[in-house]
Amino acid sequence: KFFILWCLNINTRLMKKALFLLLLPLFFFSCNHKADKEQEISIIPQPVNLKKISGSFNTDSLNVIFMGVDQAALFNVAMHCKTMFEPVLGHKIEIVKGTGKSGQMVLDIDPDLGSEAYLLTVNNNLISIIGGDAAGVFWGIQTLKQLLPPDFEKGIRMDAFDIPCIAIEDEPRFVYRGMHLDVCRHFFAVEDVKSYIDLLVLHKFNIFHWHLTDDQGWRIEIKKYPLLTEIGAYRDETVIGRNSGEYDSKPYGGYYTQEEIKDIVAYAEDRFITIIPEIEMPGHSLAALAAYPELGCTGGPYSVATKWGVFDDVFCPGNEETFEFLENVIDEICLLFPNSPYIHIGGDESPKTRWLQCEKCKNRIENEGLADTHELQSYFIKRMADYIKSKGKSIIGWDEILEGGLANNATVMSWRGEEGGIAAAKMGHDVIMCPNEVCYFDHYQSKDTENEPLAFGGFTDCEKIYSWSPIPSDLNENQASRILGGQANLWTEYILDLDHIEYMVLPRMAALSEVLWSQPDKLNYDIFVKKLQNLTKYYDARGYNYAKN
Ligand code: TNX
């Protein structure tokens, strides 16, 4: 105080200047210190409420995880926790029933919190995670991981460390937070798919949309139709680049056996991620037609596509056998994905060229009293939707399923912009938003495309994703409630391996995770970018190949 008064009494300009220079570093020191403190807690996606408390919890004493309730799903989560801590702390951790004890960790469930919600509290002597359900506890653990040193991610022995005391209340904004992966244009091994699922976990996505069939390959074993994989899973060669006209002369293919599918489904389920399988119809079906040519309008012969695009040969809806085939396929799919409430049946980019020429299709149009081939498309989708409904599930389709009238319980995935989604929501249908401008992660993320790996085109960077709102402004509250959430799609025409997958989705999925999980009033791009500096340390520790631009 005296010092300041003395300063104020100094008259000469020189003295004032000298004093200013003297005090400047002090000022900066205090600002930086404050910034450091704010940055200390960096969590993506941003929680609903986060309160830093003084002090820390030391992991030295952590050797028991208490479970507040005896529940198989919670035990699962406790096991995840045990297996993540044990190798790093270098001692055994027991899982026991109980409400917690000093120096330990407790996991519990309080259904009043709601699905996927959690409270995470770290104080000097206890880590507590209470979830609305086991999924909530699991997401709480993902948050906890971001409070641990990044090296923890390496899963190797570390000295005991401090976890900052904190109180977090959190729940997702949207129930549907999806990531899609096309395994048809290029095939990814079981371990790669599991690694992709790990990326979803880290960013609190809960849906994996698995695009399993397309023109360039049928990738799932169907016992009743072995040719689907014997023939349909392989192509003779692949076009180079963007349909350059030149081919690589290398046979390419692969598929997942039903055992492998079950293994991946269990892996995802264990991590509270639902897999929605996509079986494309009526278009993008050349691989299936190559195996069973009688299901196409011309009868073939067909071959598995070797280039990208949209093909005229699609399933023939004039032929009863087509529906018998697809229903049998769906029967096996339902058994393989028992927990998915949805089957995605594609519906996109299905040219009407063959149908217009096909006698059987013309008969179908006449006998069913349909106006044209657009209504024939809708007949196709509605018939499959009814069948899938009889199996206790409902369909999702790309926004083309609006064509000629929407099936009763269809959920629309809006990809050609937001218009399809807006129309569907106004008609009272559920909607998942993935407009290609924002949600197509096969697009470039830098304008310097020369120095980027070949991509589909476009330009979608984190900032664009971050400023996107999944709820279009022209929907009223009731219509807006139909938007279940959003999804990023990863089409793999130009993506050949896991390394490249990581590059295309990281860190864009971090930006999308905040859009889908966090409350809109908590979104701040500048803060997000700062937090990203921290998250990339975790990416580094896991050895991820992420985009640095
Ligand atoms: C459109 S999105 C497609 C895919 C392509 C993708 C390339 C959609 C329903 N169909 O078949 O791979 O564009 O970005």
Q: For 378-417, what is each residue's pLDDT tens digit?
A: 999 999 999 999 999 999 999 999 988 898 899 999 999 9
Amino acid at 281: M
Overall average pLDDT of the 285-313 stretch = 98
CA distance 142 to 150: 13
Tokens of 335: 């058994």
CA–CA separation, 330 and 365 (whole Å): 24
**Closest Cα to atom 8 of ligand 1:** 348
Nearest-CA residue for atom 2 of ligand 1: 415
Atom of ligand 1 nearest to the CA of 440: 14
Cis previous bond, 301, omega within 30: yes
Beta-ladder partners of 173: none
Question: Which of 440, 442, 444, 424 minimizes the C-alpha distance to 432?
Answer: 424
Q: Reply yes or no on whether the pLDDT at 29 is more than 70.
A: no
Distance 218 CA to ligand 1 centre (A): 16
As a whole number, mean pLDDT of residues 30-39 equals 40
Beta strand 104-109 with 126-131: parallel, antiparallel or unpaired? parallel
Which pLDDT value is given to residue 31?
A: 38
- The residue from 211, 284, 344, 429 that is catalytic is 284
Token look-up 């799932």 returns: 220
Residue 68: what pLDDT?
96
**Amino acid identity, residue 457?**
G
Average pLDDT for the chain: 93
Mean pLDDT of 288-293: 98
Residue 32: pLDDT band with limits 50, 70, 90: very low
- pLDDT confidence of residue 26: 45
Ligand 1 centroid vs 204 CA: distance in angstroms?
Answer: 25
Distance of CA 303 to the CA centre of its chain: 32
CA 143, 542, 205, 525 torsion-angle sign: positive
Question: φ and ψ at 167, to 5 degrees?
Answer: -130, 120
As a whole number, mean pLDDT of residues 253-264 equals 98
pLDDT beyond 70 at 39? no
**Pocket mutation for ligand 1, best pick of 349, 381, 418, 443 (most atoms within 8 Å of C-beta):** 349
Q: Is the pLDDT assigned to residue 36 strictly greater than 60?
A: no
Tens digit of each residue's pLDDT (9 = 90 or more) over 137-173: 999 999 999 999 999 999 999 999 999 999 999 999 9
Percent of the chain surpassing pLDDT 90:
91
List strands edge to edge, sheet with 162-170. Answer: 49-58, 162-170, 118-123, 126-131, 104-109, 64-67, 94-97
What is the per-residue burial (b if ≥16 Cβ within 10 Å, else e) of 154-171?
eeeebeebebebbebebb
Whole-number Å distance, alpha carbon 113 to ligand 1 midpoint, is 38
Distance of CA 443 from the midpoint of ligand 1 (Å): 11
Which secondary-structure segment (H or E) carries 366?
helix 359-367
- Active-site entry in 192, 269, 348, 349: 349
Output the six-digit token pair for 442.
């096969």
Q: Residue 16's pLDDT is what?
A: 40
Tell me if residue 368 is catalytic.
Answer: no
Q: Residue 20 above 70 pLDDT?
A: no
Q: Are 499 and 539 in contact (CB under 8 A)?
A: no
**Closest listed residue to residue 505, CA positions, set 525, 480, 487:** 487
CA trace torsion 285, 290, 292, 297 (10° rounding): 60
Identify whether the C-beta of residue 470 lies closer than 8 Å to the C-beta of residue 483.
yes
Question: E strands of 449-519, at which residues?
Answer: 483-488
Q: Are 293 and 300 a contacting pair, CB within 8 Å?
A: yes
Ligand 1 neighbours, Cβ below 6 Å, are 348-349, 398, 415, 440, 442, 456, 491, 493
Strand pairing class (213-214; 217-218): antiparallel
Predicted pLDDT at 37: 45
71: tokens are 């529940």
| pLDDT band, very low/low/confident/very high, at 40 (cuts 50, 70, 90) | confident
| In the predicted structure, residue 21 carries a pLDDT above the cut 90 | no
Which candidate in 214, 313, 332, 403 is catalytic?
Answer: 214
Separation in Å, CA 374 to CA 142, 359, 524: 46, 16, 44
Q: Which pLDDT band, with edges at 50, 70 and 90, does 549 fall under?
A: confident
Alpha-carbon torsion (283, 286, 292, 296), positive or negative: positive
Smallest Cα–Cα separation from 481: which of 425, 544, 409? 425
Report the atom number in ligand 1 closest to the C-alpha of 443. Answer: 14
Atom of ligand 1 nearest to the CA of 442: 14
284 noted as active-site residue: yes
pLDDT in tens, 242-254: 999 999 999 999 9
Instruction: List Cβ neighbours of 78 (8 Å cut-off, separation of 6 or more).
Output: 65, 67, 95, 107
Residue 8: exposure state from Cβ atoms within 10 A (0-12, 13-18, ≥19):
exposed
Q: Ligand 1: which of 314, 491, 493, 494 to mutate, most ligand atoms within 8 Å of CB?
A: 491
**pLDDT of 7:** 44
Which residue has its alpha carbon closest to ligand 1 atom 10?
A: 348
> Is the pLDDT score of 267 beyond 90?
yes
Q: Is 130 helix (H, G, I), strand (E, B) or coil?
A: strand
**The whole model's pTM is what?**
0.93
Q: Which atom of ligand 1 is nearest to the CA of 182?
A: 12
Model confidence pLDDT, tens digit, residues 164-197: 999 999 999 999 999 999 999 999 999 999 999 9
Q: What is the mean pLDDT of residues 433-439?
A: 98
Active site residue 349: yes
- In our burial notation (b when 16+ CB lie closer than 10 A, e otherwise), range 492-501 reads bbbbbebebb
